[in-house]
Structure 1
Amino acid sequence: MEKGVSTPAQSALQASVSRLGITEGQVVQEFGYDSDVDDDFRFALEDLVGSELEDEDYGDVADAVLIWWRDDDGDLVDAVVDGLTNLAEGGSIVVLTPKSGRPGHVDASDIEEAATTAGLHTSGAVNACEDWTATRLVAPKSARR
């Protein structure tokens, strides 16, 4: 199968998506979809996993959760806990927030606090696309014996 030629912007999106720890064949549940999300980022993610993203009403197990979050969306802890509801063991949550200086920007400390309160920790941020930063949340490694 021959792949089409991609633009530098498409290549950058594909690289960003691949750094989120989400892989082909995984089920990704999406929260916080609105008119301001980056559709090109979503399409790149769908291309990677090979299927459409599942919506907030999805009732089965998800391998990863994507949360689009803005400063005025409410309580981020509640959103992260909602994301954990269907998340498979070993799965991750990706919180996408507007970049610094853009409307709805969320401080990294707020994301860290929400992760900690939900029993998770941040495992790095990625420049996801033009207007959004992605922060990956994962369960802490189990305590050593």
Structure 2
Amino acid sequence: MVATTEPQDADRLGFSSGNVVQEFGWADDTDEDLREAIEEITGTELVDEDYDDVTDGVIVWWREGDGDLTDMLVDVQTVLDDGGLIWIFTLKPGRDGHVGHSDIQEASTTAGLHATSTFSIAPDWSATKLGTRGRGR
């Protein structure tokens, strides 16, 4: 039996009704159940990388070989409203394309962020919440 993501798993991400969430890195391997659960919570469809307005949150599907994670994290911060949520979804260890937590921490620090928590969010994916370092950096 294949496990699926239940909406309560997506509840852990902190999004709420009416939030606009921008998605980066969508590909054929993204978890559609998780995407739908986020949309169910927010009541809106995820917006894509070309969306050009302020958002309440960002999700980034990231795999080894996707490019420069630091650059991506700098870019996603430009679209966020103050206090907006940033989540990076990475493939779990042992999956092709896995990115190590130390790589996420290094890229986050360089982009002025820090990893605050990581947990399993879907059968093949882990979620890492990134927070800002605050105004006093």
1:49 aligns with 2:51: no
Residue 29 of structure 1 deviates from its aligned partner by 0.3
Q: 1:77 aligns with which of 65, 70, 81?
A: 70
Does structure 2 conserve the Cα–Cα contact (< 8 Å) formed by 1:28 and 1:53? Answer: yes
Matched ranges for 1:1-145 at <5 A:
13-143=6-136
What's the CA shift string for 1:74-131, capped at 9, x where partnerless? 1100111111111111112100000000000000011111111111111101211000
TM-score (normalizing by structure 2) = 0.92
Give the deviation of 1:141 after TM superposition: 4.1
Counterpart-to-counterpart distance in 2, 1:13 and 1:117:
33
Distance in 2 of aligned mates of 1:66 and 1:56: 10
Distance 1:109 1:15 in 2: 28
Q: CA RMSD in A?
A: 1.3
Higher-Rg structure is 1
Q: Which amino acid aligns with 1:30?
A: E
Detail structure 1 runs of 4+ shifted over 3 Å in the superposition.
Answer: none
Distance 1:76 1:103 in 2: 17
Unaligned stretches of 5+ residues in structure 1: 1-8
Higher mean C-alpha displacement, 62-71 vs 16-25: 16-25
Between the aligned residues of both structures, percent identity stands at: 49
| Mapped contact 1:92–1:139 kept (Cα < 8 A) | no
- Pairwise CA distance, 1:13: 2.6
Aligned residues: 134
